Amino acid sequence: MRRVTMAGEVAARVSALPFGTSSARLVRRGDHALFGVSTGNSYFSCRRLAEAVAWAVQRFAVVDVVHADVALQATLEAFGYEPAAARRSATKQLRGVRRRIDGALKHVGASAERVRARPLSDFLDQPGYQEVRARARAALRDDLELRSVRDDTAFRFLAERPRPDGLPAPAQVQAALAYVDAELPFFLDTPRILGVASSVHCYHSVLPLGRLLFGGRPKGPHGAGPHHRQLPGSAARSSGAPAGSATSARTPPAPTRRGRGRVKWTGRRATMRRRARSSPS
């Protein structure tokens, strides 16, 4: 894999397409960018992640790469793995994700010193995360639409691993919900969790929860407030040429199109397009 260090080279691959004045302003402000990487989604290969992070470190004061490790072993057990086998598989999968992230940061070079790479489990005991998660639980109790979309996200994950009878077992449902619930706080208030003034989330697809929370609905919880909110990763997987969109607390997401030969990176305040010229590592 070629070392991604030259600003001109990176700029040729990635460009920001803000969704409006608020989005453009937050990108120009450049407080923070977040990338979410999961074991179930192979889109962020080492090369793609390196190029994306290299783009981000040129524009943002701080960059976070968070990989999902919560409920992975329980999910594997729910799908029939013996506890010991589930533990080994989870360890192997997480090791692979960390290898991708470490490799990407190595190729970014010295600028990677401003990148924080952490597992999701690191946030579980932090006051900011716990506060936002409590708000998420309350919202799920009171907001039927939010709960429906959250459940649909979990069932999309389950649909990729069907049982012979086509129906997920109760333990599988609970594991999938736990996976989504652990990430839901990042939809509601990323700046509070990560201690930043504003945040741009970079992802490769538009998630149903993001469409709901940042689509301008008149009622219910959403990414409101003075700070930029987040479109984090979930159990969803991409197929074909991934598409994405960006949303903000004040700017509803614009519809996205699947373009040939290019990929849209989902930024919370901006959509980033990357010409699909390089092969995944």
Tokens of 107: 């190729």
* Residues 98, 173: Cα–Cα separation, whole Å: 27
164 contacts: CB under 8 Å, gap ≥ 6: none
In whole angstroms, give the CA distance from residue 186 to residue 192: 9
Q: Helix, strand, or coil here: 125?
A: coil
Q: Could you give the 3-state DSSP secondary structure of residue 273? A: strand
Active-site hit among 15, 23, 38, 121:
38
Contact 72, 90 (CB under 8 A): yes
Active site residue 38: yes
Residues 6 or more apart whose Cβ sits within 8 Å of residue 127 = none
Closest Cα to residue 63, out of 95, 21, 111, 103? 111
Compute CA distances 124 → 68, 98, 187, 200, 234, whole Å. 12, 19, 15, 21, 17
Answer yes or no: are the C-beta atoms of 93 and 71 closer than 8 Å.
no
- Strand segments (E) across the chain: 14-18, 32-38, 62-68, 115-119, 200-202, 262-266, 270-275
CA-closest candidate to residue 79, choices 182, 181, 180, 175: 175
How far apart, in Å, are the Cα atoms of 120 and each of 80, 123, 181, 236, 253? Answer: 24, 6, 12, 17, 26
Residues acting as catalytic residues? 38
